[in-house]
Chains A and B, each alone.
Chain A
């Protein structure tokens, strides 16, 4: 808390009384990633206190889930993290499968990995581009969207939709890939790989970008764990946790046999860090720069996983398998499963009572926990740092408000 004039009379400088100002950043503000409202208490350019207000995008998704069958709720999960709808679909599908003890075919498993990792690339591209936008540079945003567009084209071919896919569903996937899709996907990866160097040139190593992000909004390891942060925000603080490796067996078994390293700094080094720009000297573990960098590394990681998934998927013979019926009954009992979504650990909770309609459907949003640290991080920063910090958390309001 900033001192008030009553606490300390020395605050008066040269007989000028400086007052604090309460400013609303959002819900209609260009850099609040949707409809987040931040109330800033500022003394000139310095922010002394910040309070996030959420709920502007609340659509009763969870309540609706208690009136629909498990598969019918899939389209509503699309609209949670609409930038990574595939991963949302997967999270709910796996939670229901865990309760129903469903097993998907080998082919469907590899296809899910393929699609989920592509979704992760698309989501991180938006996160990266929008972060550039928050820092006042417009071009990287369009560079990112140009590539994301190609992923969306591939998704459109696979499932017919470009944003709200409902592709991964309970018991499998709604359809198999069309002919030639894998070839086109590989072509995309081949042309995408060198583009990442452009992003590093435009943002990661850009002197102004480093000045704006390095050492700003430092989230300590302990604080990150205390606030329940997850995903790149947690790993950016140096915590080695990734549910694809550390999660429940129903989720980690999906990645059985896949080779990947968690993108986290260990002993001052990132995995394979010779291939990427060096960490700037001003950067502190847990600052905006590291959160951003972790995302960039995960993009490369996911590309690797997609290539492996393509190999495995094409090696599988036989049919993909039919997904569960729309009105498949859910056994009595409950199941909770967290998956590693691009934004963090997204949890889904389902309670069944023997009917096809879940008695309860709940979601645990990673962005919500990640956003909650914003008050800690922004204390004492400048107004210009607020978008830099909020942007580095890469939140999606659709997921927070549901």
Chain B
């Protein structure tokens, strides 16, 4: 994208700024539209679980416009601020929450290389930025000048900070297996059949996945860990005093985070954008099938990832509408007495297992995970990011320009050449996993 703009004669900085703007806008839309869809889905699912119909009329069948109608209602609502509230912090809090949730999406790949900014510490970035969401909640609780809000904020602070520990431990396991903190690399390491997924890598990772999911539910404050907004105890917890648009920002942040932790679960344990069967490879969308096939394969990857993440979100909804809420001390017990030790033991277990059987559960020691690839190029470690790829295009375009053939058509194969060269240069990187 940036390369194209540079090619059109824009200065570099402007081209990158425009690209970044477009990426940010796209992610913003993913969160906003995603929240709308999930809110609608939650209503329908809750309704079906409870033997009701849920929204049926707004927007024709299935009430699919219900969330939008709600959004309009929220826009039109009076924006109240309680007397005695700290105005600046009160206004700031929802945006802090939302920004944290939003920023974490920056490093989240939706398919191979379909990522706003590929980071070599992607996992770390996502977890760290997601942890910032709690600041918004604490601010909201503190600034609302309401005792119930304060209770909610204190609970959230205690809970989220505690659950970061086992969550981090769980996340470290796939990082260790992949030998990288780059989400794109972790996802691509699991390509091929479903047996390559880290979920099935060994018994320890299988357990870790469930621990991760529990902690993820807790860290995004969903039932049965939704103590910060426990309506039967704390009225509405930290957002008791919020109304209208500000409240909806909290809501969007919640749904954004839900999706994010589910997508992270998909990438870390469920093969990311790789389907259970390497469909793209089987129908010939893989290496060397051309530019169109390349994009189709990525689209398929996007569908895969979104599907898995949505499944995670649906499970969270299912849990929410089934289980009662835990008490604060029980939540902490679950974290400190169960999740943390289990995660620690499983981490050690996965480490030893990898030492003994580098290929994982299904492939013994013979075959490294990720041999059958779905996607474009075979060696992931060598795959240049969007940036490098664009640079290659620019370089190629430069060559072509000098030759007097300023044409993208001729530039494309040249770019491939550059990328494939990269593979050769870092062949040894692919052999990680052997002890």
Contact = CB atoms under 8 A, between A and B. Distances in A.
Interface of A: 21, 23, 29-31, 44-45, 132-139, 142-143, 146, 202-203, 206, 208-209, 211-212, 382-387
B51 A383 contact: no
Contact of B49 (A31, A44, A139): A139
A382 B151 CA distance: 12
Task: Pick from A208, A211, A387 the residue with the most CB of B within 10 Å.
Answer: A208
Given A30-B232, A134-B232, A211 B326 contact: yes
A136 B223 contact: yes
A202 B226 contact: no
A384 B233 contact: yes
20 contacts: A23-B147, A31-B231, A44-B154, A45-B155, A136-B224, A136-B230, A136-B325, A137-B223, A137-B325, A138-B50, A138-B321, A142-B51, A143-B50, A203-B324, A206-B324, A208-B224, A211-B326, A212-B330, A382-B328, A384-B328
Contact of B327 (A21, A143, A212): A212
Given A146-B51, A384-B230, A139 B322 contact: yes
B186 to A, nearest CB: 33
Contacts of A139: 46, 49-50, 321-322
Interface residues of B, number: 30
A203 B46 CA distance: 17
A142 B322 CA distance: 12
A387 B230 CA distance: 11
B88 interface: no
Contact of A132 (B51, B52, B227, B324): B324
Given A21-B147, A138-B46, A212 B324 contact: yes
A203 to B, nearest CB: 8
Contacts of A45: 151, 155, 328-329
Nearest to B330: A211
Contact of A383 (B46, B224, B233): B233
Contacts of B227: 384
B326 A212 contact: yes
Contacts of A385: 327
Interface in B229-251: 230-235
Contacts, number: 84
Nearest to B46: A138
B52 A29 contact: no
Given A142-B50, A146-B51, A384-B233, A137 B151 contact: no
Given A142-B52, A203-B324, A211-B326, 6 more contacts: A45-B151, A136-B230, A136-B325, A137-B322, A208-B326, A212-B324
Contacts of A44: 154
Contacts of A386: 233
A135 B50 contact: no
B323 interface: yes
Contacts of B323: 137, 206, 208
A133 B50 CA distance: 13
A147 to B, nearest CB: 10
Contacts of B329: 45, 382
A31 B232 contact: yes
A10 B324 CA distance: 38
Interface string B390-409: 00000000000000000000
A173 B321 CA distance: 42
A205 to B, nearest CB: 12
A21 B148 CA distance: 11
A275 B325 CA distance: 28
A192 to B, nearest CB: 14
A136 B237 CA distance: 13
Given A29-B235, A30-B235, A135 B325 contact: yes
A139 B227 CA distance: 18
Interface in B137-168: 147-148, 151, 154-155
A139 B50 CA distance: 5
A135 B232 contact: yes
A387 B151 contact: no
Contact of B324 (A30, A31, A208): A208
Nearest to A213: B324
